[in-house]
Structure 1
Amino acid sequence: MRKLYLLIVLLLVCSIEILAANKPNVTAITEVFGDGQKLTGVILEYPTAINGKKLTKETFEVTDRTILNVYTNDVSEKAKNSKNGKYVIIELDPKDKNSGIFTTAQRGKFNEKKVSLIQKNKIYTTKNTVIKPSKEILTNSASRDLIVEDFKQFEFKDPKTGLTLGYNLYIPKNYDKNKKYPLVLFMHDAGPTDLKETVVALIQGNGAIVFASPEEQAKHEAFVLAPKYNKKIVDDDGNIDPLLDTTLNLLDYLKNEYSIDTDRLYTTGQSMGGMMSIVMNFRQPDLFAASYLVACQWDPNVVAPMAKNKIWITVSTGDEKAFPGMNAITDTLKKNGAKVAYGSWKGTYSSEEFTKAVKEMEKENANVNYSTLEKGTVIPKDVVETSKGGEHIYTWTIAYNIERVRDWLFSQSKSKK
C-alpha cells in the first residue's frame, strides 16, 4: 500500500512539472543589421532545465519563419555552444521576408515585435521528465533588442544654442574613470527625421550599434554616441541648422562628464550624417582624429581646411550625387596637400575580400582613402526598387560592415605624428 501511495505521488509530481513546463515565458529577440532591425529569435524560459541534446529544429514551428537553430543555455542569451539550462533559444533566419521590424525597405514604418510558435515534438528535461507536444500557440509577452538595449537615452539641453537634442550613448561596460576611452560619433541620414523616437538612430542601420557590439568592444573599447535628429540638419543647398553646433556642444559636455580621450574622437555618418561630418571637419579641422564618410557630399570650395585630416570615404559609383560630389572634394583636398589613395571594390565582396582591399589601400599611407563600390553591386539582388536612390541608400548597408575600415579608424590618433 505504501509503495502504491509513493508511486501515485511521484506521478502527480511529474504531471505537475510537465503542465508547468508547457507554459514557458516567451521573449522575442531583435537584432540590427546594415538594412535595419529584424526579429531574429525567440527565448523560451522553462521552470526546469532542458536537455539540449534531444532538441532539433523540428521540435518547434514558428509561424511564417525559418528556424536556423535550436539549443539550450543556462542564461537568457544567444550562444555559440549549447549548455543544458532552463532557456531554449530558437534562432530565426533574418532573410525571411517578414523578419523586418524597421528596415531600409520600409523606412518610416514599424512592425510589431510579435512571434507565434507551437511545440511539435517532445521536449526532455534534465530530470528525464517529458514535456509533451501541444497545439497551443505560444506568443511572446516581452522582447529584447540586442546591443540596442545596451545604449542609454538622454536629452541634452544646450545652454549655448538653447536647443534640446535627444541622443543615445553607449558607455563601455567596464567603464573606469581612471582610464581614457575613444568616442565614436555616428550621425544618421535624413530618412528617420520624421520619427520622434530617439532609438531610431540605432535601428535604421548598423552605423552606431556595430561599434557597440561585444566583438567590436573586445577589440576597441569605446563610447558610442548617436544623436537623433527630428529635422534635416544640413541639405544639398548648403544650409546648416544650429543643431549641428548643439551636437558639437554635446561632445564638449560628454568630454567633461566622462573620461574620454580627446586625441581619439572619431566621427562618421551616412548621407546627411556624412555631410555633417564634413562640415565639422572643415569648421574644426583639429577636433577629430579620423572620419568615416559614407554616401555624402558637400561644396568642394569650402573643404580645403580639412586637407590634412585622416579620412576614409565610401560611395557607390552609381550614386548620382555622392559620387561626383566626393570626386570634387578629393580633388580639392589633393590640391591643398592631401595624399589620396583610391580603391575600386564590388559591394558583393566577402569580408575577407574587403579586408584584403583595405590593406592594399593602407600600404599607400595616405591621409585620405577613397573607396568606391561598383555600380550594380550595391543593391541586393532580391530588392525591387520602387524609386531611385538604391545605389545611395544601400551603400551604408555595406560600408559599416567592413571590419578593416573600422580597425583603421581606431588606429588613428591626434597624438601620432
Structure 2
Amino acid sequence: MRASHRRAHPRTRPLAAVLAAVLVLGGATAARAAEPPTADRSARHEVLGVTPVTEVGSFGQQVTKVVIEYPTRVDGRRLSPSAFRVEDSGYNFRFDPASELGNLVDRRIADVYTTDDPARLLDTDRPRRPGRYVVLELADDPNGGWTVITSLCPTFLCSVRVNPDQLTQVTQLADVMGPRGTVVSAAAPQTAHRITEEPIDREVDQFRSGSLETETGELLYDYRLPDRYDPRKRYPLVVALPGHGMGYDGQNRGVQLASDMLALAWNQREWTRTHEDVIVVAPQNRRVGKTVEGAQVVELVEDLTSRLAVDRRRVYATSVSYGSQLMWEAFSTRPDLFAGGLLTGGFPADADELAPIAAAEVPMWITHGTGDHLLPVANARASYDRLVAAYEARGLSQKRIAHLARWTEYGDDAFSLPDRHLAAAPTLEDPETLQWLLAQRKRS
C-alpha cells in the first residue's frame, strides 16, 4: 500500500521553454551519450503516445506508471527496465518554491510489461497482456512526479491546482522488439517523449462533478457513488472539507481530490479495512468565509440526502486545515444533520460553537501534529479541552465523554514527509480512525 506517497488531472501540453532546457541538459548526460546497437538500423523510432497513470496518497497525487503506445504488438519477454528512462519534476508544492518545477529527477522503473488496453489500469494493478502498450511501473518514491502545483495567490495564502503541463517524460534507450524478433521501435536515447494523452487515475476518475445553487451563490463539488450503487439501499455519506488552497479559485476545478487522501480513502478497502460502501462528496467552496460556506455545506448535505440513497443516521464530515472551520460552523448550527466528525490539523472552535455540539452529543475525533508550523497545536488542544468541559458541564460521565470527544497528537515521526501541518496523513493512514467514524450513528 502506497500510504505515504500516492498520487488528478495533469494535462499534456509541454512547457516549451522548460522542455528545451531539459533536453539540452539531458543530451549532455552520459546516459544519452552512446546509442545502443539496434537489430535493424533502418527501423524507425515509433512512439505513438505517452499516457501517465496517477494515484493519490496521503500527501497528494503522483505519477506512478507511464504507458507507451507503439504501432504494433511488443514482445513483453524482451522488455527490461534498463531499456527506458523516466524523468519528472522533483518539485513538491508543500516544500519547494515554484522555481524548482523545471528541475527533473530520475524515476526508478520497478517493472515493465505489455498490455492491450491502458483502460485496464482503471481496475487492475498489473494487467499483463500481449499488446502494443508498454507499461513502466515506477518505484514508490516521494522524489518526483507530484502533479499538484502552486496556483494563484489571491491572499497571503496560495491556491493550488493540478499541473496542466506535467513534466513527466520517457526516453527509450534500447530497441523495442516484436514477437517475431523485428524492431517495433529503434532506440533513441537522445529523444525524450512528453505526455500526449489524458491521465488515468483509478480513484479520481470515479468522481463526478456537480454544482448547487445555494442561497449565497453557486457551490461546486465532486462526488462518488459506490461502485454497485443501488437506490433501494441506504449508504453513509462522508463530506470531505478540504484546506484553504483547495478552494475554487477559477482555474483549479477538482483539485481537492488530488491534494491528499481526504476524499478518496473512503472507497478503498486498503485504507478503511472494511467492506463498507460509502457516498463521498467533496465541496470546493470559493473561500469567502466560514459562515457563508458552513451554510452552503449544510445546504449541500440536505440536497444530497433528498436525492440520493443516504442513510440520514450516518452523515459524517472530515476535514483538513481550513475545512475545520466549516465543520465547526456546520456542526454547531445544524448538529441534527451529523453523526460524527474527524477534524485534522484544524483551526480552534469559536467559543459559541461548542455548547450546541455538546448538547447534541455529536462525536468528534480531533487530530493535530505537534510540530504543525501553520496552526499551533496548543489552540487545537484547547478546543478539545473546552469541548470536554462542555460535556462535563452537562453532567456526562467520563466514559461517555471519552466516546464523544477524542484527541490524538502526532509527533514528527508520524509524518513520512516533512509537512507536519497535514495531520490528515497519519490520521487516514490508521484504519482505526476511519472505522471509528463510520461506526457512529445518530440515536434518533
Percent identity of paired positions between Structure 1 and Structure 2: 23
Q: How does 1:215-230 map to 2 (within 5 A)?
A: 215=270, 219-230=275-286
Could you tell me which residue of structure 2 aligns to residue 186 of structure 1?
240
Q: How does 1:10-159 map to 2 (within 5 A)?
A: 22-63=46-87, 64-66=105-107, 67-76=109-118, 77-78=120-121, 79-81=124-126, 83-86=128-131, 87-93=133-139, 95=141, 97-102=143-148, 108=160, 110-111=162-163, 112-126=165-179, 129-135=182-188, 136-146=191-201, 147-158=203-214
Structure 1 residue 226 displacement after superposition: 0.6
Could you tell me which residue of structure 2 aligns to residue 304 of structure 1?
355
Q: Deviations over 1:183-216 (max 9, x none)?
A: 1101111123473222122122221122244755
Name the aligned partner's letter for residue 413 of structure 2.
T
What SS class does the counterpart of residue 381 from structure 2 fall into? helix
Structure 1 residue 139 displacement after superposition: 2.7
Name the aligned partner's letter for residue 36 of structure 1.
G
Could you tell me which residue of structure 2 aligns to residue 372 of structure 1?
409
Could you tell me which of 225, 241, 254 is aligned with 1:199? 254
Mapped to 2, the partners of 1:163 and 1:313 lie a distance apart of 30
Structure 1 residue 278 displacement after superposition: 1.9
Name the aligned partner's letter for residue 117 of structure 1.
V
Query: Is contact 1:35-1:104 (8 Å) kept?
Result: no
Could you tell me which residue of structure 1 aligns to residue 16 of structure 2?
none
Structure 1 residue 104 displacement after superposition: 8.4
Mapped to 1, the partners of 2:212 and 2:125 lie a distance apart of 39
Q: Deviations over 1:300-342 (max 9, x none)?
A: 453023232222111122347452233333333333246678x
Q: Does residue 265 of the first structure (1) align with residue 315 of the second (2)?
A: yes
Query: Is contact 1:31-1:38 (8 Å) kept?
Result: yes
Could you tell me which residue of structure 2 aligns to residue 412 of structure 1?
440
| Inter-CA distance 132–190: structure 2 relative to 1 (3 Å threshold) | closer
Q: Does residue 164 of the first structure (1) align with residue 218 of the second (2)?
A: yes
What SS class does the counterpart of residue 405 from structure 1 fall into? helix
Question: Does 1 or 2 have the higher relative contact order (CA < 8 Å, sep 6+)?
Answer: 2
Query: Is contact 2:223-2:281 (8 Å) kept?
Result: yes
What SS class does the counterpart of residue 365 from structure 2 fall into? strand
Query: Is contact 1:122-1:132 (8 Å) kept?
Result: yes
Q: Deviations over 1:30-78 (max 9, x none)?
A: 2222222222221123454444343221121123431232223344244
Q: Does residue 276 of the first structure (1) align with residue 317 of the second (2)?
A: no
| Inter-CA distance 189–137: structure 2 relative to 1 (3 Å threshold) | closer
**Unpaired segments ≥5 residues, structure 2:** 1-39, 88-104, 152-157
Query: Is contact 1:37-1:103 (8 Å) kept?
Result: no
Name the aligned partner's letter for residue 157 of structure 1.
E
| Alignment root-mean-square deviation, CA | 3.2
244-253 or 397-406, larger mean C-alpha shift: 397-406
Structure 1 residue 367 displacement after superposition: 2.6
| Inter-CA distance 369–118: structure 2 relative to 1 (3 Å threshold) | same
Name the aligned partner's letter for residue 291 of structure 1.
G
Mapped to 2, the partners of 1:139 and 1:104 lie a distance apart of 21
What SS class does the counterpart of residue 198 from structure 2 fall into? strand
Could you tell me which residue of structure 1 aligns to residue 227 of structure 2?
173
What SS class does the counterpart of residue 84 from structure 1 fall into? coil
Q: Deviations over 1:340-394 (max 9, x none)?
A: 78xxxxxxxxxxxxxxxxxxxx9x97232211112x335656x5xxxxxx53x23
Mapped to 2, the partners of 1:378 and 1:300 lie a distance apart of 30
Structure 1 residue 173 displacement after superposition: 2.3
Mapped to 2, the partners of 1:58 and 1:367 lie a distance apart of 55
| Inter-CA distance 162–311: structure 2 relative to 1 (3 Å threshold) | closer
Mapped to 1, the partners of 2:84 and 2:397 lie a distance apart of 57
Could you tell me which residue of structure 1 aligns to residue 338 of structure 2?
288
Name the aligned partner's letter for residue 113 of structure 1.
Q
| Inter-CA distance 294–23: structure 2 relative to 1 (3 Å threshold) | same
Could you tell me which of 357, 369, 375 is aligned with 1:316? 369
| Inter-CA distance 220–82: structure 2 relative to 1 (3 Å threshold) | same
Q: Deviations over 1:257-293 (max 9, x none)?
A: 2111111111011122122112222222222122101
Structure 1 residue 399 displacement after superposition: 2.4
Query: Is contact 1:189-1:272 (8 Å) kept?
Result: yes
Name the aligned partner's letter for residue 318 of structure 2.
T
Q: Does residue 402 of the first structure (1) align with residue 438 of the second (2)?
A: no
Mapped to 2, the partners of 1:72 and 1:201 lie a distance apart of 33
Q: TM-score, normalised by structure 2?
A: 0.72
Q: TM-score, normalised by structure 1?
A: 0.76
Query: Is contact 1:183-1:264 (8 Å) kept?
Result: yes
332-341 or 246-255, larger mean C-alpha shift: 332-341
Could you tell me which residue of structure 2 aligns to residue 210 of structure 1?
265
Q: How does 1:333-372 map to 2 (within 5 A)?
A: 333-335=387-389, 336-337=391-392, 366-372=403-409
Name the aligned partner's letter for residue 315 of structure 1.
H
